Amino acid sequence: MTIAVYPGSFDPVTNGHIDIATRAARLFNKLVIGIYDTPDKRILFSTEERVELTRRAVAHIPNVEVTSFTSLTVDFAKEMGAKVLVRGLRMVTDFEREFEMSLMNKKLYPDLELVCLMTGLQYQFLSSSLLKEVAGLGGDVQNLVPEFVASALKEKLGSES
C-alpha cells in the first residue's frame, strides 16, 4: 500500500487544494493531508478550524485522512508510514522552493519521494494568502472555496466575502 502525505498550512483550504488532493488520492492508496500546526506565518484559522474545514472539503474522497502535525514534515511522513510527499505547483517560484525543500527532505529521509502535481489552470493564481486578502477587503471568493469555507471567512473577517 502506498501512502502519500500532502502537507501544508491550509489557511484556509481552497478549491486548488481540493483539486490537488482529489488527483493525488487517485494515484495513491491513502493520502494523508497534514495540517502544519505552527507555520512561520500569520494564520487566520486555528489548527482545529483548519483541520475541520479541510476534513469537510475532502469528505467525498474515501481514501483521504486529515490530521495536524507539529514536527518536521519528513518526521510526520515517517510517522504516517508515507513514502511519498505530494505538493502542488502553481508557478516557477513554487518549483524553486519545492526543489530546495526536496533536497533537504531527501537528506533527512532518503526513502521519501516528492511528487509535484501541476495546478489546474483555473487555480494557478490562487493562494490562501491572496484569498484572505481579497475576502478581507470584501471581494467575492465564492467560486474559489467551498461554500462553508467562504462562510467561515466571512465570519472570521467580518466582511462580505
Active site residues per annotation: 17, 41, 90, 128
Contact criterion met (CB below 8 Å) for 38 and 9? no
- Three-state SS for 4? strand
Q: How many residues does the chain have?
A: 161
Cα separation, 146 vs 15, whole angstroms: 7
Contact criterion met (CB below 8 Å) for 35 and 51? yes
- Three-state SS for 76? helix
Report which residue type is found at 115: V
